[in-house]
Amino acid sequence: MTQNQLSASIRSKKGKSANQKLRQAGNIPAVLYGPRGNILLEMAEESTRHLLEKMSGMHELVPINVTDSAKWRKLDCTGFAEGNSEASLSTPNHSY
């Protein structure tokens, strides 16, 4: 069985107007809910829709690869699927 994985990036703008602009650009607005706050995300519509259609009828946890392009960091959200309440933040070649 192949590993299915969603890709997303962090977005800073929220609201109806910002979401409409995302959709016009071919992206989907999304929210990752967590115990320490919510993270606003945007995902590529075509690849996300393709993956979800491929998984139709399946019951499976899907890891999300979240990146923040403005600060060159990657958020590891795999802990949420394992019952861990924290997500780890890795910053390759940069310190924040």
Quick: pLDDT tens for 16-37. Answer: 999 999 999 999 999 988 888 8
Q: In order of start, what are the domains of the chain with their CATH numbers?
A: 6-90 (2.40.240.10)
Dump pLDDT digits (tens) for 48-86: 999 888 888 878 888 888 887 665 455 555 544 444 444
Residues 6 or more apart in contact with residue 27 via CB below 8 angstroms:
42, 43, 44, 45
pTM above 0.85, yes or no: no
How many CB atoms within 10 Å of residue 63? 16
